[in-house]
């Protein structure tokens, strides 16, 4: 089961994908899709770190507050 941090990233990715699917402007659609991909890559990186180093303490902040 994914950690809370991984789930958070994947939920954000889904949110950006929904925004991309509803966007009419192609530039905006591309920007939203790019953001979704960034969140998915972050989830993959967190999974990699957690598998390599063990679980990250719950009080550790991996994301700038503007992304939480």
Q: Per residue in 20-62, pLDDT tens? A: 999 999 999 999 999 999 999 999 999 998 888 876 665 566 6
Residue 63 domain flag: no
CB 48 within 8 A of CB 5: no
Residue 66 domain flag: no
Number of domains in the chain: 1
pLDDT at 1: 84
pLDDT at 2: 85
pTM of the model: 0.76
pLDDT at 54: 75
Domain, as residue range, for 34: 4-56
Reduced DSSP (H G I as helix, E B as strand, rest coil) percent helix, strand, coil of the chain, to 5? 75, 0, 25
Scan for tokens 């089961």, then name that residue.
Answer: 1
């Amino acid at each position: 089961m994914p950690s809370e941090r991984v789930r958070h990233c994947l939920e954000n990715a889904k949110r950006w994908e929904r925004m991309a699917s509803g966007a009419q402007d192609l530039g905006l659609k591309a920007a939203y899709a790019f953001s979704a991909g960034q969140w998915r890559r972050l989830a993959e990186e967190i999974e990699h770190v957690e598998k390599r180093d063990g679980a990250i303490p719950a009080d550790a902040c991996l994301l700038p507050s503007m992304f939480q």
